[in-house]
Amino acid sequence: MLVRFWGVRGSIPVPGPDTVEFGGNTSCIEVRTGKGLFVLDAGTGIRGLGMSLLSQPGPLKLHLFITHTHWDHINGFPFFVPIYAPGNSIDVYGPRNLHSETGIKDVLTLQMDYSYFPVRTSELSATIEYHDLDEGTFEAEDARVTTKFLNHPVYMLGYRIESGGKTVVYTGDFEPYHNVFTKEEESRIFEVVEHANRRAVELARDADVLIADAQYTLEEYEKKRGWGHSAVEHSVDLAVRARAKNLVLFHHEPTRKDADLRALEERVKRDVAERNLPITVCAAREGMTIEV
């Protein structure tokens, strides 16, 4: 399997001289298996991926997995060139909204309403199939895909892709569950919270590559608890508990400059080494590739 990062930022794209090293585009990851092309999220990074696919001969077949429908994970879709090419076949997947009949097709169609964009989804030339997903496992090309709902302020699916004996896991935007009850009630609720957090551990179990939300430091997180994102310390803990081999810190805070991210990456690597933790860790950069 081959993993390539096209967008690694969270919340909003931040192009400019201070984000050249790590990149300023929002979430988009390309995963190649022996037979399949899989794309994780459609943030602004998907535009660059689409341009790169223009050189690929013949009709294109790909699977696009949307973790959730916040803007920074879908706003590159209208600029993804393959959706305009006749003969291309694209399967788009997203989380089923359990409280309404609105699905992934409805959200992407609304985003391309004529009030916001000059081309509507009904005018796209590629063959596009939309799939609303619950938790479960299914086959796509030569891969086994597992989905699991994780904690975020909107329905959000984490994805596990297994192919050829290798596993890549992507949490999407994810915050560990925490106890909001009083100290007297804590013992009664602790088991429930721990059970909920084990869901992410199960999804990431023995992953060769775990790509995890790590937008904040622990100090920052204490002021933004409930916003739906993890601290880097949470991601390290998840990787260790899941016995993941390689951790990639993802969804970088948009205000963090290259120098800040470099320092944060070095601090996390130093902490992992000092604690003798059985993982390798790095911060995602646009253009970075990982062979699994």
Q: What would the DSSP string read from start to end of 134-162?
A: -SEEEEETTEEEEEEE--SSS--EEEEEE
User: CA-CA distances (angstroms) from residue 74 to 44, 70, 109, 265?
Assistant: 8, 7, 11, 27
What is the CATH architecture assignment of 2-291? 4-Layer Sandwich (3.60)
What are the pLDDT digits (tens) for 270-291? 999 999 999 999 999 999 999 9
Token code pair at residue 19: 């984000």
* Residues 6 or more apart in contact with residue 59 via CB below 8 angstroms: 87, 88, 89
Overall size of the chain counted in residues: 292
Phi, psi of 259 (to 5 degrees): -65, -35
Q: What 8-state DSSP symbol labels residue 81?
A: G
Token code pair at residue 253: 């805070």
Query: Among positive and negative, which fits the CA dihedral 220, 170, 101, 89?
Result: positive
**Termini Cα distance of the chain:** 5
* Residues 6 or more apart in contact with residue 81 via CB below 8 angstroms: 47, 50, 51, 53, 54
Q: What 8-state DSSP symbol labels residue 108?
A: H
Q: Which of 45, 66, 242, 247 is nearest to 158 (CA)?
A: 66
What are the pLDDT digits (tens) for 196-217? 788 999 999 999 999 999 999 9
What are the pLDDT digits (tens) for 22-62? 999 999 999 999 999 999 999 999 999 999 999 988 899 99
User: How confident is the model at residue 47, as a pLDDT?
Assistant: 98
3-state helix, strand, coil in the chain (%, to 5): 30, 25, 45
Report d(CA 75, CA 92) in Å as an integer: 14
| Spans of all domains in the chain | 2-291
User: How confident is the model at residue 226, as a pLDDT?
Assistant: 87
Report d(CA 36, CA 236) in Å as an integer: 29
Phi, psi of 184 (to 5 degrees): -65, -30
Q: How many CB atoms lie within 10 A of CB 265?
A: 19
Q: How many CB atoms lie within 10 A of CB 208?
A: 17
- 191 pLDDT higher than 70: no
Q: Quick check: pTM over 0.85? A: yes
User: CA-CA distances (angstroms) from residue 272 to 79, 235, 244, 265?
Assistant: 39, 12, 13, 11
Choose the weakest-confidence range: 80-89, 120-129, 174-183: 174-183
